[in-house]
């Protein structure tokens, strides 16, 4: 039996694409008018005292151990140890919304929801699967795939992760994508797909032309009647190293493409701002003809997942990031550009090395032009055996994504060891092949 608050949200989303896409769990979810909601109201109106939240205060200031406070001398106790709102600190959400619009001018005047804060992008993907993916349903992703997609979709949701061979030697295999989406739409009437660019593990981002065609394929699928959820996993947004790569998120082009398309953007500070372990991500929704009331209902259901799992994201992390974004933006961007240039220089060095061996009989580099990674397609050797040989024979750590794909994070290789690492990779492959 659905709770009356869930029924209220479901009514708000009735006859919309997100309402149709909701999972059984998604339909059940609601944000209770309990401790958090009542506490938020008390924070606004309790002039004498606030006895709602489970914290300890003195003179209305949260108690904080001095050994903790001295580590962050520029921040107040409230900024460090208080609870953050379930959806995130409002100032940070506003800042991130403005950043999305600034980085994606193709959005124009298209509406989108206020971003909701999550504990990193993995949590964002998991929240969306809770909301929109049922047992036995299918989530599509590019092959090869980041292993966490399988863990979230299959192990947690008991759904199917269908890997699509979206890459050929030149880039995106648009025909394969169109065939996969068309087949799923004809079979079920629904398409749920996660698009991760720059892609992990290949390190590929679509060209301007490829991005346009991907969106055209999605729009055509929706035009034929399918309800389409597109999760834009933008973990490595902005890290592009060749000309003619699409500079904006596909979210910008999908936000208003068709009323049958719900676009969900998952992004954050973790990779974009070199703050990996701070675990701060965002979920943002967009769809043609969705109103403020529709977005409010989606946000409340998103908050319900967060409230029922982690309760809220880290207060101190959100406040640190908010202060960083509110500081000297020119200096911040200059430093980010300098770090990006370090990664680009490593990319170019790796690109030259693998291009020089493009006809190698055992290791074929998959297309890559951006992000942190590149991957080899292993021919006539096993990727796990190669990984083991590199690790124990050469002291080089890599990742075997599957039996035929070896991933190398060139972003994590200091410049002076890149030549040695790649020489070891080719040598180890040749030794394995005998």
Name the DSSP letter for residue 134: -
Q: What token pair was written down for 365?
A: 């580099």
Residues 278 and 349 reside in one and the same domain: no
Residue 60 within any structural domain of the chain = no
Which of 325, 360, 393 finishes a domain?
325
Which of 278, 297, 325 finishes a domain?
325
The residue written with tokens 């460090």 in the block is 80
pLDDT at site 307: 96
CATH number at residue 381: 3.90.1150.10
Q: Mind listing the pLDDT tens digit for each residue in 303-335?
A: 999 999 999 999 999 999 999 999 998 999 999
- Cα separation of 273 and 281, whole Å? 11
Q: Mind listing the pLDDT tens digit for each residue in 118-138?
A: 999 999 999 999 999 999 999
pLDDT at site 44: 73
Q: How confident is the model at residue 46 (pLDDT cuts 50, 70, 90)?
A: low
* pTM confidence score: 0.95
Average pLDDT of the chain is: 95
- Cα separation of 298 and 386, whole Å? 45
Dihedral sign (CA 369, 151, 404, 428) = positive
Share of residues in the chain with pLDDT > 70 (%): 97
Pick from 348, 341, 340: nearest CA to 418: 348
The residue that leads in pLDDT, 57 or 402, is 402
Which of 325, 355, 384 finishes a domain?
325
Q: Cβ distance 262 to 230 under 8 Å?
A: yes
Residue 65 within any structural domain of the chain = no
Q: Cβ distance 29 to 5 under 8 Å?
A: no
Residues 107 and 246 reside in one and the same domain: yes
Q: Mind listing the pLDDT tens digit for each residue in 175-209?
A: 999 999 999 999 999 999 999 999 999 999 999 99
Pick from 269, 378, 245, 392: nearest CA to 320: 269
Pairing assessment for the beta strands 227-233 and 261-268 based on DSSP bridges: parallel
∠ Cα 378 380 386 (to 5°): 55
pLDDT at site 37: 67
């Amino acid at each position: 039996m659905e709770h009356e608050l869930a029924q209220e949200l479901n009514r708000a989303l009735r006859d919309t694409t997100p309402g149709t896409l909701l999972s059984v769990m998604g339909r059940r979810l609601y944000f209770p008018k309990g401790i958090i909601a009542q506490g938020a109201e008390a924070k606004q109106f309790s002039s004498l005292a606030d006895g709602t939240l489970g914290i300890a205060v003195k003179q209305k200031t949260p108690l904080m151990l001095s050994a903790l406070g001295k580590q962050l001398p520029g921040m107040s106790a409230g900024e460090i140890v208080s609870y953050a709102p379930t959806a995130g600190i409002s100032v940070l959400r506003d800042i991130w919304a403005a950043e999305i619009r600034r980085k994606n001018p193709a959005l124009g005047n298209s509406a989108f929801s206020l971003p909701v804060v999550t504990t990193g992008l993995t949590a964002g993907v998991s929240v969306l699967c809770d909301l929109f993916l049922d047992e036995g349903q299918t989530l599509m992703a590019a092959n090869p795939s980041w292993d966490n997609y399988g863990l979230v979709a299959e192990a947690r949701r008991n759904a199917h992760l269908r890997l699509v061979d979206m890459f050929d030697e030149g880039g995106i295999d648009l025909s394969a994508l169109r065939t996969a989406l068309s087949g799923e739409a004809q079979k079920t009437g629904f398409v749920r797909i996660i698009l991760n660019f720059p892609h992990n593990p290949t390190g590929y981002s679509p060209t301007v032309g490829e991005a346009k065609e991907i969106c055209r394929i999605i729009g055509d699928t929706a035009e034929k009647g399918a309800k389409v959820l597109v999760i834009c996993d933008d973990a490595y947004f902005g890290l592009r190293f060749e000309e003619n790569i699409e500079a904006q998120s596909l979210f910008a082009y999908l936000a208003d493409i068709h009323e049958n398309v719900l676009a969900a953007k998952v992004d954050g500070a973790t990779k974009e701002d070199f703050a990996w372990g701070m675990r701060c991500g965002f979920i943002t929704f967009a769809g043609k003809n969705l109103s403020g009331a529709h977005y409010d209902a989606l946000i409340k259901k998103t908050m319900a997942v967060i409230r029922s799992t982690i309760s809220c994201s880290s207060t101190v992390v959100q406040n640190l990031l908010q202060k960083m974004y509110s500081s000297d933006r020119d200096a911040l961007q200059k430093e980010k550009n300098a770090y990006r240039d370090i990664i680009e220089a490593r990319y170019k060095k790796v690109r030259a090395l693998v291009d020089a061996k493009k006809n190698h009989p055992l290791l074929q580099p998959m297309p890559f032009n951006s992000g942190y990674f590149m991957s080899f397609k292993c021919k006539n050797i096993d990727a796990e055996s190669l990984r083991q040989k590199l690790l124990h024979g050469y002291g080089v750590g890599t990742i075997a994504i599957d039996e035929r794909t070896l991933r190398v994070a060139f972003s994590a290789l200091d410049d002076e060891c890149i030549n040695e690492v790649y020489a070891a990779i080719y040598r180890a492959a040749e030794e394995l092949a005998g």
